[in-house]
Amino acid sequence: MARKESLEKLRELLIMRRDALRRALAGDLSLLQSLREQIGSDVVDAALDASQDEISSKLAEVESRELGNIENALDQIRKGTYGLCEICNGKIPLMRLKALPYATSCIECQRAAETAGSTGSYGGDWSRVIDAASDVDVSLSDLETT
């Protein structure tokens, strides 16, 4: 299958996943509302309030992560940049995109970023990620001979 066809299938998958997440989260809230209407007690009201707070928190977390990543991927598709690594501009392998359709970096750049640590020790300078990938390991004995 050509890369273009595979990317189109991934676009469809992203749209379906986005819509499914939205429906699932909306369904959780409506289920709690119907429970409140059926029982109508103060205990249910308190549980509903606590549950709504928790769901709202989870919703914000999901939206800021997966839904945000999906929207970003769909935006990249519209711009024609989907499947390109945001760090090195190389093509992200289809197998990686199939496993993680909203991946924004190739495996090599992702590894370099993770090696740098989740604190972002590159300070937003992604060119340093590429430079770090090409760094040569030097031992003390190598330094002593010069």
**Residue 141 in domain:** no
76 and 5 share one domain:
yes
Q: Which two tokens stand for residue 82?
A: 């989907």
Q: Where are the alpha helices (DSSP H) in the chain?
A: 3-39, 42-62, 68-79, 94-99, 107-116, 127-133, 140-144
Residue 139 lies in a domain: no
Whether 53 and 104 share a structural domain: no
77 falls within a domain: yes
Let me know if residue 146 belongs to a domain. Answer: no
Domain residue limits at 33: 1-82
Burial state string for 115-126 with b = 16 or more CB within 10 A and e = fewer than 16 = eeeeeeebeeeb
Residue range 22-40, pLDDT digits in tens: 777 666 656 656 655 665 5
pLDDT in tens, 65-121: 888 899 899 999 999 999 999 999 999 999 999 999 999 999 999 999 998 875 444
Give me the mean pLDDT over the 125-145 stretch. Answer: 50
Mean of the pLDDT values across residues 42-67?
70
Q: Are both 43 and 94 inside the same structural domain? A: no
